[in-house]
Structure 1
């Protein structure tokens, strides 16, 4: 009975690894921009193949079979390391993917074909996998400061890598060298296999959860980011402004509204492609000229806005003037013969009880005054309601 249970559970592990491999490959099929899914899927596929071969075709002395199985295990570790690092835009060094696996495979072959030793092969395969995976700890350490799902994934990966070392000791210690091959059929062996299955499943679920969060964040970024300027969209601005308005007591909040001058002339004479290039460059200029906590958005067309938390009126005026001068002095490559683009600016500061819409409306009225006063200038609203040049 125990023998049958052990054989059944032993087959469950490669079957589960195969299903997880298919899950990652299916996810990659629908998310081709995430190649790490393919690498992790291949990792689980190799792992399932190695376990399956070990169960269904036990190694025979001197046949080289154990070396092949060990190489598959090591290859799965390399692919897992590749996938984990590819997700964060990093790549493993040659030591992890070439030198170390080759040395380990050579050692496996030596202790199977030249100086047969089951204990040595078990230690080499398991400790070798741990070493390969642990080479990813340093580059992956940044995940500890990321989202909750990233922190969970990091520690699950660390636990999965480290478990190969004590697992090796636990595998060999109670059974002895002569009985190690029979260990999977014992109650102790069943426990080891069950823990391995749980770890494989936990790692896969953590990575799939992180991938799902990546997809959601990517969709949210597409929704909230203007594709031309990489600034916020109006919808994103409204969402973020809801967290700033009303501001904390004693903290002023200002807004700078910007509208490019003669933009229709640019589109009509240089084409909409040139117009898009101008908007892209203006977006970069605005993004480079503000603080991290400021919120810059493209409202539509050639109109931009910068929401300035904890910023009094005079500081907002200074920022607007700096942006105006930077834009006026910038060389626009998409406009040969013209090269210069200017903009008009309107500045307003939030009043008690006012919402974003009312604030933008006042800034827009001031902006129209700048347009009427000859463009390429900064206008603001005095307490009297009159706007004068900055």
Structure 2
């Protein structure tokens, strides 16, 4: 019996020491490696002390080895608390700020053990027998130490169970393995302390650390390494850049992710972002409050500072059909909307001149034709082919750009300027007749006649011819454009650099 126990303790020492060394080597790569190394190193020390206590014949050496178990116990308890804190997703920075508290128990425990021969408050009595080994009677300090150890391990277990419930489904098995491996030595210690083992005191705790090491080794081999912290739903939500808020059925804030806290702090309703427990309407503006109360699943809202938010409200449903609350996701889409508006504008603009293109011209004509009076001015640059042939296409492009700029400046908000094709432009004038359109076209012609384009051969002054037509009741936009185009060609035939109206052509005919 004695030889078998020594062999088991020595084996446990070897396994725990190996695992401690391997874990320590991974400490820079894995956040759980350091605490795991501390736990298994404590198990190795505990097992070694038990092997000596059981195997030696010297009573003082056996008693000393019994006392030396407790540094290993202290290492395991501190490591277990450290390990579960990190493993369950709590911030490592918080643990580092409180790490001095982890040393309080080991220091007090070692002080009690070292001074025990004088006060006997840890072991009220201790004796070494040839058949029973070391037998002790526990004193009050031992029970205080035991109560502390069980409390800390219980806290770690409760944290692990709570974290397992919060974890994503694929990682819950990691917690089961962790709890099974970590709690097995606790069961062994309870049996050691409170069960009757007959004529020899057998400590099952370090023996069961073989099971712990095996479970955690299997976790690593199965693709769920204990050195990695499991993913919890709070990690997933925290990683989302959108603002996520969880509300109860009455609109009270139950939880927010960091992005939501930051957004609410920027809004100014809650400068510190501490909104949990407050009502929804207390922490956001009236528009967002209306989004939650209105029952609309998705809305796009514009804040007072111009920020545009996409607000989505997802009502949670249980299996019985009740609604325990809602998840509100708010995304800042200001830049997205700006890009969307820019792309939309580019789709209706001419790439060279910046005025509207022919597709948009047709759309505006259809819209304005249904509203009443409407006139169109068609313009064409005179001798544009000669300009390209003489000065080059780059100068020709500059002529078109300057013409478009002048047209836009003169027309302003009274009409729409579009490039109809090539060197031809069109101006749509709603609520205008042929007479007003002709006056505007003449003003445009005189303004453009004064603008010179700089060329290597000197300044170039380009002119244009224009045709004007007014929408006739009962006709369509195709007829309107055809009559304006016919007047334009008449202006060219009459010598260019002039404006001709369709009415004047009708009188001549």
Matched, 1:345 2:496: no
Instruction: Describe how 1:319-358 pairs up with structure 2 within 5 A.
Output: 319-334=440-455, 336-358=457-479
Q: CA deviation at 1:14?
A: 3.7
Deviation at 1:285, TM superposition (A): 0.5
In the alignment, what sits opposite 1:175? none
Gaps of 5+ in 1: 22-45, 52-72, 85-95, 97-122, 128-136, 138-147, 161-190
Matched ranges for 1:215-364 at <5 A: 215-248=339-372, 252-334=373-455, 336-364=457-485
**1:212 Cα deviation from its structure 2 partner:** 4.9
Q: Contact 1:156–1:203 at 8 Å: present in 2 too?
A: no
TM-superposition CA deviations, 1:10-55 (whole Å, max 9, x none): 943442232437xxxxxxxxxxxxxxxxxxxxxxxx947xx9xxxx
Pair 1:8-2:170 in alignment: no
Aligned to 1:203: 330
Give me the whole-angstrom Cα distance separating, in 2, the residues matched to 1:126 and 1:4: 25
Residue 166 (structure 1) aligns with: none
- Relative distance call for 1:224 and 1:157 in structure 2 (3 A) is closer
Residue pair 1:225, 1:232 contacting (<8 A) in 2 also: yes
Q: Quick one: distance in 2 between partners of 1:365 and 1:344? A: 12
Question: Shift in Å at residue 257 of structure 1?
Answer: 0.6
Structure 1 consecutive aligned stretches of length 4 or more whose deviation exceeds 6 Å: 152-158
> 1:12, 1:274 → 2: CA distance?
63
Bigger RCO (CA 8 Å, 6+ sep) = 1
SS in 2 for 1:241: helix
Take 1:155 and 1:340, find their aligned partners in 2: how far apart are those partners?
Answer: 44
Is 1:17 aligned to 2:234, yes or no?
no
CA distance in 1, matches of 2:166, 2:304: 30
- Residues 212-244 of structure 1: CA distance to partner in whole angstroms, max 9, x if unpaired? 544443332222100111111111111111111
Bigger strand share: 2
Counterpart-to-counterpart distance in 2, 1:328 and 1:295: 21
When residues 5 and 152 of structure 1 are mapped into structure 2, their CA distance, relative to the original with a 3 A threshold, is farther
After TM superposition, the score normalised by the length of structure 1 is 0.52
Provide TM-score, normalisation by structure 2: 0.41
Q: Please give the secondary structure, in 1, of the residue aligned with 2:367.
A: coil
RMSD, aligned CA: 4.2
**Structure 1 residue 330: Cα displacement:** 1.0
5+ residue gaps, structure 2? 1-157, 168-230, 243-256, 275-284, 286-298, 312-323
In 2, the alpha carbon distance for the partners of 1:359 and 1:335 equals 41
- Are the structure 2 counterparts of residues 335 and 357 from structure 1 closer, same or farther at C-alpha, using a change threshold of 3 Å? farther
Equivalent pair of 1:369/1:387 in contact (CA under 8 Å)? no
Q: Could you tell me how far apart the structure 1 residues matched to 2:303 and 2:477 are?
A: 38
For the 8 Å contact 1:267–1:275, the answer to whether it is kept is: yes
In structure 1, C-alpha distance between the alignment counterparts of 2:494 and 2:424, rounded to whole Å: 18
Using a 3 Å threshold, how does the CA distance of structure 1 residues 383 and 345 change in structure 2: closer, same or farther? closer
State the distance in 2 between where 1:293 and 1:273 align: 31
- State how 1:1-390 maps to structure 2 within 5 Å: 4=162, 8=166, 11-20=232-241, 47=258, 125-126=272-273, 149-151=300-302, 198=327, 202-204=329-331, 207-208=332-333, 212-248=336-372, 252-334=373-455, 336-382=457-503, 385-386=506-507
Q: Deviations over 1:139-189 (max 9, x none)?
A: xxxxxxxxx83527979989x9xxxxxxxxxxxxxxxxxxxxxxxxxxxxx
Structure 1 position 338, deviation (Å)? 3.8
Output the CA distance in 1 between the equivalents of 2:308 and 2:355.
35
Change (3 A) 1:280 1:334: farther
Instruction: Check 1:383–1:333 CA distance in 2 against 1; reply closer, same or farther (3 A cut).
Output: closer
Separation in 2 of the partners of 1:336 and 1:150?
56
Contact 2:379 2:466 in 1 (8 A): yes
Residue aligned with 1:20, SS? coil
